[in-house]
Amino acid sequence: MNNTKIALEEPLLENKSSRPPGLLSRTLFLYVFPLLRLANKTPLEFDMVKDLQLDDQSESLFNRMNKTFQIYKHNTYPLYKSLFITFKNQFFVVYIIILIWNISLMYGPIMIRQTLSYIDNSEHTLGKSFQWLGIIIVVRVFNAISYQNSFYMLRKLGYDQHSAVSVSVMKKTLNVSFQSNKQYKTGEIMNIMQVDLQRILQFNIAVASVIFLPFQIGISFYLLFDFIGISCLAGLGVMILGLLINFLLGRWGWRLQKQVMVAKDNRTKQAHEIFSQIKFIKANAFEEYFKNKLLRFREKEIQLIKRKNIVSGLFTLAFLMTPQLTLNVTLAVYIWLQYNLTPADTFTIISLFNILQQSASALPSYINQIIEANISIKRIEKFLFTDELMDDCIQNESHGNSIEVEGTFYWDKVKNNEHPSKSTDVVPVNEEIDPILKNIKLKIEIGEFVTIIGDVASGKSSLISAILGEMVYNVSRQPPKIKLNGNIAYVSQKSWIQNATLKDNILFGLPYDEKRYRDALKYSCLEQDIKILDKGEATMIGEKGVNLSGGQKARITLARALYSDCDIYLLDDLISAVDMHVGKFIIEKCLREYLNGKTIVLITHALYSCQFADRIILMDNGSIIKEGTLEDIKGCDKFDQIYQKYFKEQKNDKKDDQDEELEILNLKKKKSSIQQINTVNKDMVDDLMILEDRKVGSVQLDVYKEYFQMNGGFLFFAFNLIVVITQVIARFGSQIWLAHWSGQDDLTYDENLHNLMIFSFFSLSFGFFAFIRILTLSRESVNTANKVHTRMIEQLLYAPLCQFFERVPLGVLMNRLTKDQSVLDTEILWTISILYISCSNFVASTLINVFSSSYYIILPVLIFLYAVWKVQRFYMAANRELYRLESISKSPILSFFSETVNGLNIIRAFRKQDQFLERHTKNIDLNRKIQVAQLQTTTWFSMNLTFTSFIVNISAIGFVLFFGSENPALAGLLMTVATVIDNSLQSAINSITQAETQFISFERCLAFAKIEHENGYKQKKDYVLNWPQVGDIQIDTLVVKYRENLSPALRGLNVLIKRQEKVGVVGRTGAGKSTVTLSLLRILEASSGCIRIDGVDISTLNLKQLRESITMILQDSTLFEGTLRENLDPLHQHTDQDLNDVALQCCLGDLLLQKKGLDTEISENGDNLSAGEKQLISIARAVLKQSQIVLIDEATANIDIDTESKIQQTIQTAFKKCTVITIAHRINTIMHCDKILVIDQGEAKEFDEPQKLLEDKSSIFYGLYMQGKKSNKI
């Protein structure tokens, strides 16, 4: 992290809160009552919850912590120290309050001893009884207030730390290049933001509980020594031994938790990669393969979770048995020393050990949380020290040339195993790694228009990355020099679109300027596109622009650059993604005229643009081999080679330039007819993105029922109930027997020993059955969580592309598979476990009170139950809605973070880091104000529940004080068990409340597990034998809609494509070209009409067979992290020889030779390859599939002319006996086709041989051809 503060132009959120509440209101949380009352009247919305105070907002918290972090970053454990020192005042206050709570807690056994001594004394009066009752009430009130306030402060402190670290992670992310830094993948970064940061929230409570446990143990043994003397020392030895055993089990659990986190990372990364590339997976019917691949990752995670749960069970057993063994040994020594138990001594001991038991029972969970948080904090710390951009070689100047570059650049670095605090130093590049850019010397003057040309992987895009500071250099050599004079606008090769409105994508955070905005639309050719959108410029264009064509996305990114009004424009292969006449307009009107005087660097394969450039840079193998004007480089062999390939289709053209000019002029008369190709009914496009689902009201009974059935059903419930009842009988049986034992006078040693053995049987059985309960519950809970995960994956992978994936943001989907799934994997288990035991304890302790004292106690118990029911209902109305609001506000944090990671180079190029950091802080603060409101209402509920429990507690104690003098042992039992009544009911109510909020996660996952499959997968159909054989395609009156409420995208399309015909499809954006290919694969189902392949209606086919039989090469190449072999042959159906042959056939020979052959590592999204190399791999994969029908959707858009020529030859040779349908921007890529299909507004306007269409000068295709021919002239 840099030692800089976030500079914000205005407060993150307007502080709408009124004057702060008073001391009494803050202490008792009375100030949340208006929110609770409002929630009982209407479902809560975000604006109903008060905003955070300025000091509590993430901006302020980050700045405070970052200041401390900079001081301690070179120390050991810098993040720990920063978190503690930054919030030291809060820690001091809360630990004082915790100390008060512990003192009041430990005073409880003293009160029992003094009360029983008072009862045993015949000289007691009514006034003294009331005095003792008053003292007890005061102590209990202090205990309740201090406990609830300390709990609130610890949780709020966790939220503060979470916010500060979250901003730190985002700020670090904005300064890391994941292309040059190979340590982290998108899935791992998402896991840090989603899972690791979440661990911080529980850390403070767990640490405080563990820190004060020695205090409780120490005070307990001090009191024991005071009460029963030296006997307690034997128990202390057992306690120390037990703690040692638990320490060893804790270390074992810590190691397993680290493995669980790694497995979780791998699964998350795999899921993110799969659902990011779902279109490719569906087009190739790879759902089953990727489902099994993801489930294998999940199986590894599940096995580790199960092993960890076994260790947690052993940990629980050890911690529960330690106090019991300690008590047994203490009593054994006590009676061995010939002492007799008295009720005062007995129930003081029991009370002390109950406190230890309560702490010990929660300790396994706290130790587990500390282990998890420790691992997560170290992972975050490691990320905060990962290498940042090596942009120190960039100098921003206000004079001289616009751009100067001199040096050698790399993508890879050597791994550094030093301490993370030292790894902030620049890591030297491995001498063995070949540089990507070699000895670059480049100077570009202000206002110069420069084009960069070259073959695939020649270093064109890398040169722009170097200018932007994204690449690394070798610090052991002379560092490179980069000088920039002006601000930069960058259009990347792969368009980056935000999940926002079209207008917001263009403005990119800048103030609105009407003229500049209209100019940006005009010169990026977006005016017509906006007209077809139902909401125009206010249309949400969706995550990654899923509802846009490649050309539209490219033009939006161009409009963003134009609107920024920068000095330098870096354009990476922009022209390849748009139609020819649009590209011609962009070059001539936009770049040459509108941006006249600006510095423009254009990477291009369209040599037509070179005639407008002031200078041309020719690159090959990472070096600039020639630069100059068009005339200067014409003699270069490499340029001549590219030139000849580019214009080889022009050689047979007999028409002169004058005729061509005439035809282009005449074309203007047909302008309206051509523009109609871009006209689509407004209803066809609407806001695609749907918000996070939110159900209002309580969780439905069916949700609990379904979990119950998935979790073993009635038999499993009955088994667990028996185990829990046995455990409770063992617990209270030991106390009842102890009361019976201590009430007997003058017992012999043998009688005492007999009583001790019976007591030991009960007490030790308690720990054993608790262990059985944990093991059985954990096993079934994990199995249930895994069932839900498997169902989700199965349903998601087969969900419809257009109706689901293009409408649901990836962040929402990943939220289910990470946060909600984590709740099912671990959290819900402990909640159900506590609920089981708490309910059983409540019932048992109530029965003991009733049958051991008087039926009088039933009345206060009934009053207590009624009061709890009313308070709980009042509270839950707010809690449910706050939980859902919290979940809804959580997803935008993840979606925005994921979006940011994908667009880092663009964000940095435009210098928008502060803007994105500010947006992230706003997202955090919106989520956090809901979390704080949740915490406040929950604390209010717990506080009121505690005060309500005084009804039972005071009634029992009053009965003892006024009517219990006849039997002190019975009085001691009643006082001890009375405390259990309210504690167990509080625990049960808290568990019920927590379970309901956690079951919302189950409900949300269940909703995804019930998503309907695509129509073709709903009914299993048999494969049609020997189909297809020839590849005839008949499209008969086809009508296709993207969704039922939209107008048709194809309107009665009629086309007959004969076997082995090569058909090129042309038409402007939105005409329906891609809809044809989606319909052939039944990604879009026909509303009416049909498609027949070899005479078989494809709607009657098994969908898997259909997609396996057709090959589709997408415009955006799809690669997965792994080897080249795995990307070429995902299903492992071919030999290495086959793969090598096809790779060479598809111009991948250099890649095989330069790297490690088929074992060449492909990084996430293929980021270590050029766009051309990625597309070549996609084409090679298609060739290997050997389908009868091949669909090519603008697949050569990002490939240079020379490579495209080779690819076209490969396609013509490899697919010679196939039916091929090609959609392309460049007319020359489809001129070899047998027929051309011109689509306009979803209808086939022209369909004939290319030459016949060209002979008709009134045809739409002729006009497009002439525009393309004009564009190809130099």
pLDDT surpasses 70 at 1265:
yes
Q: What is the pLDDT of residue 1237?
A: 93
Q: What is the pLDDT of residue 546?
A: 57
* Residue 423 contacts residue 416 (beta carbons within 8 Å): yes
pLDDT surpasses 60 at 1208:
yes
Q: What is the pLDDT of residue 544?
A: 57
The residues near 610 (Cβ < 8 Å, ≥ 6 apart) are 451, 453, 604, 616, 630, 1274
- Strand (E) or helix (H) holding 329: helix 287-336
Please report, rounded to a whole number, the percentage of residues in the chain having pLDDT higher than 70.
87
Q: Locate tokens 């495209």: which residue?
A: 1204
Q: Locate tokens 């282990």: which residue?
A: 371
For residues 1157-1175, average pLDDT = 81
pLDDT surpasses 80 at 269:
yes
Instruction: Specify the range with the lowest mean pLDDT, choosing from 66-70, 154-158, 236-240, 544-548.
Output: 544-548
- Could you give the CA distance from residue 750 to residue 747 in angstroms, rounded to a whole number? 8
- 1150 by DSSP, 3-state: which? helix
Amino acid at site 44: L
pLDDT surpasses 90 at 577:
no
Superfamily of domain 1031-1109+1189-1274: P-loop containing nucleotide triphosphate hydrolases (3.40.50.300)
Q: 1028: cis peptide before it, omega within 30°?
A: yes
Q: If you count them, how many residues does the chain have?
A: 1274
Neighbour count for residue 1229 (Cβ, 10 Å):
24
Q: What is the pLDDT of residue 179?
A: 73
Quickly state the pLDDT bin for 786 (edges 50, 70, 90). Answer: very high
Q: What is the pLDDT of residue 158?
A: 92
pLDDT surpasses 80 at 22:
yes
Q: What is the pLDDT of residue 367?
A: 77
pLDDT surpasses 80 at 416:
no
pLDDT surpasses 80 at 1232:
yes
Q: What is the pLDDT of residue 649?
A: 43
Amino acid at site 438: K
- 126-173 and 78-86 helices, crossing angle to 10°: 130
pLDDT surpasses 90 at 686:
no
Q: Which CATH number fits domain 58-386+693-1009: 1.20.1560.10, 1.10.600.10, 3.30.70.930, 1.20.1300.10?
A: 1.20.1560.10
Distances in whole angstroms, Cα of residue 946 to Cα of each of 23, 31, 141, 147, 981: 20, 18, 9, 10, 11
Quickly state the pLDDT bin for 1219 (edges 50, 70, 90). Answer: very high
pLDDT surpasses 80 at 1272:
no
Alpha helix segments (H runs only) across 45-125: 58-72, 78-86, 88-120
Q: What is the pLDDT of residue 914?
A: 94
Please state the domain extents for the chain.
58-386+693-1009, 446-458+487-650+669-684, 1031-1109+1189-1274
Pick the most confident of 192-206, 618-632, 1067-1081: 618-632
pLDDT surpasses 70 at 15:
no
The residues near 425 (Cβ < 8 Å, ≥ 6 apart) are none
pLDDT single digits (tens) 874-894 = 998 898 889 888 878 887 888
Quickly state the pLDDT bin for 124 (edges 50, 70, 90). Answer: low
Is the domain 446-458+487-650+669-684 a CATH 1.10.10.60 member? no
Q: CATH topology of 58-386+693-1009 equal to that of 446-458+487-650+669-684?
A: no
Q: What is the pLDDT of residue 1198?
A: 56
Q: Do β-strands 449-454 and 437-444 pair in parallel, antiparallel, or remain unpaired?
A: unpaired
Q: What is the pLDDT of residue 13?
A: 35
For residues 586-591, average pLDDT = 93
* Residue 554 contacts residue 573 (beta carbons within 8 Å): no
- Could you give the CA distance from residue 308 to residue 778 in angstroms, rounded to a whole number? 10
For residues 149-171, average pLDDT = 94
Instruction: Specify the range with the lowest mean pLDDT, choosing from 256-265, 407-416, 438-447.
Output: 407-416
Rounded to the nearest integer, the mean pLDDT of the chain is 82
Q: What is the pLDDT of residue 982?
A: 63
Higher pLDDT, 759 or 341: 759
pLDDT surpasses 60 at 17:
no
